[in-house]
Amino acid sequence: MYTGVCLPKAFQIVVDDVGWWKGLDERAIDSPSRTGMCRRHVPEDYLALARLGKELGMRILCGFVVGEWDQKNRLACVPHTSKYGANWDMASRIDRRIREARDIILSNQAYLEMALHGLNHMYWDEQGHFSPAEFY
């Protein structure tokens, strides 16, 4: 008797909120919910997704949030994308392993399909309070 898991070929795996470096859910302090994991994300997380795609013989659809990859602080010029507004500064806090993660993503395009899920996932008003509405 077969005791393994069988996924039909038409089945599509979708992973939400890929792209965050910080895992903590910080909605209580007007920040994003992120992945809700109590640790920072690491390049090996992308490797795990690629391995899953390879084992399943499919491209894993990754809903990607780009804010914590903003190396040039472009989001400072886009109103309502963070509670910091024009004072947004991700460049000084960018994860040192970002290039390693990028290389994993690029070298595993056969198994990872990146899709824009959001800039910073929420919408912030002029007072820096977020709304759970998605903002792209």
Measured CA distances, 112 to 39, 63, 72, 77, 103 (Å): 22, 11, 25, 30, 12
Three-state SS for 75? helix
Alpha-carbon distances, residue 107 vs 44, 55, 110, 129 (angstroms) = 13, 16, 8, 38
- In sequence order, what are the beta bridge partners of 25? none
Q: With cut-offs at 50, 70 and 90, classify the pLDDT of residue 70.
A: very high
Which stretch, 24-33, 99-108, 126-135, has highest mean pLDDT?
Answer: 99-108
Report residue 10's pLDDT band, with 50, 70 and 90 as the boundaries. Answer: low
What's the confidence (pLDDT) of residue 132?
A: 74
Q: How many CA atoms lie within 13 A of 17 on its CB side?
A: 16
Q: What separation in angstroms does the CA of 51 have from each of 20, 57, 104?
A: 19, 10, 11
- Give the pTM: 0.84
Mean pLDDT of the chain: 90
Residue type, 23: G
Q: What pLDDT is stored for residue 97 in this prediction?
A: 96
Q: What pLDDT shows up at residue 30?
A: 78
Instruction: State the residue for tokens 């990872």.
Output: 112
